[in-house]
Amino acid sequence: MKAPKFSYTRGESLDQVLTLLNEYGEEGRILAGGQSLMPTLNMRLSNPKILIDINHLSELNSISINDDIVSIGALSRHSEVGRSPIVERHLPLIADAIPHVAHIAVRNRGTFGGSVALADPAAELPACVLALGGTLVVQSVRGIRKIIADDYFLGLYETERKPDELLIEVQIPVQDPTALSAFVELSQRKGDYAIAGLAFVGTVENQLIKTAKLVYFGSETKPTLAKNTMAVLTNTPWNDKTRELIVETLGQDLDPMTNLQGSAKMKLHLQKVLTNRAIDLALKREKPSR
């Protein structure tokens, strides 16, 4: 189908974009990579009054590191994030996740900030940002506000960002070199919408799990921390007994939704399978102690 009628403005400066957002609020829509917005327009699932194109705000397209914080500009394309030596070295979880983010042509255009701001429940990057304890920097004519990832994701496509605020940057602490991470996902085709998936970050000593952070996506309405399971895994050997225990706790932590990608029951099962895979993978990555 064809998009409905709308007005279009190419943003030439951050100030101009923030002024337009302030003026139009919910009737304006930010056009970044457009890889989620354009399909909804073509299918007439959304009907904004104005599209505000931010693709020419080059100040939002950078990846840098300062005082052990990696700053990813909102307009950084997925393929740029995937190629970034800073991300590869300091945020291996995100480097592992990028190949799962759609397909090459979509990664060339889609943006890191767009994915995090939209908070699609099947998206990989919101889960990674939550697992790594990231902070979202949003700006409006009222000023700059920092929102920690724990407070940002509220529900299905529902976030703490107000309609007049633009996500400009995501700040993520570097991964501790002694920490381990793993990213696993199931989808029909590689790059398609996730049926189920999780991001794991933890510390391991001599194959004993010391700490574990687990964030689930695809099955839940928003990226979800599995707090009961994380508690069970703390200071625990990874053995058959633990594997059995987390089957129980995951049932308490997760509340999967049924959608085109599968039933709630199947998704809960798959998340249990993936949890085992993720922890097995992370433990394999432990460097032998000297």
Partner 1 sequence: MSEETSEIKLTVNGDLITKTVNVRQHLVDFLRLELGLTGSHLGCEHGICGACSVWVDGLVVRGCLMLAVQADGGDVTTIEGLTETGEIADLQKNFVDRNALQCGFCTPGMLMTLAELLRKSELSSREEIREHISGNYCRCTGYHAIVDAVETTIRDRLGDS
Site of interaction with partner 1 (CB under 8 A): 1-8, 10, 31, 34-35, 38-39, 41-43, 49, 51, 53, 55, 79, 99, 102-106, 108-109, 189-191
Q: Which residues contact 73 (CB under 8 A, 6 or more apart)?
A: 59, 60, 61, 62, 63, 112, 113, 168, 169
Q: What DSSP designation does 192 have?
A: S
Q: Which C-beta is closer to partner 1: that of 51 or that of 199?
A: 51
Q: Which C-beta is closer to partner 1: that of 19 or that of 36?
A: 36
Q: Which C-beta is closer to partner 1: that of 192 or that of 280?
A: 192
Smallest separation (angstroms) from partner 1 to the CB of 114: 12
Smallest separation (angstroms) from partner 1 to the CB of 206: 34
Other CB atoms within 10 A of residue 148 CB: 14
What does the alpha-carbon distance between residue 225 and residue 216 come to, in Å, rounded to a whole number? Answer: 7
CA 104-216-128 angle, to 5 degrees, is 55
Q: Which C-beta is closer to partner 1: that of 42 or that of 64?
A: 42
Closest by Cα among 37, 130, 35 to 77: 35
Q: Which C-beta is closer to partner 1: that of 106 or that of 225?
A: 106
Smallest separation (angstroms) from partner 1 to the CB of 77: 9
What does the alpha-carbon distance between residue 205 and residue 208 come to, in Å, rounded to a whole number? Answer: 5
Q: What is the DSSP string of 52-101?
A: EE-TT-GGG--EEEETTEEEEETT-BHHHHHH-HHHHHH-HHHHHHGGGS
Smallest separation (angstroms) from partner 1 to the CB of 32: 11
Residue indicated by tokens 């007049």: 164
Please report, for residues 159, 190, 242, the alpha-carbon distance to residue 250 in angstroms, rounded to integers and kept in the order given: 24, 25, 12
DSSP bridge pairs for 89: none
Q: Which C-beta is closer to partner 1: that of 125 or that of 282?
A: 125
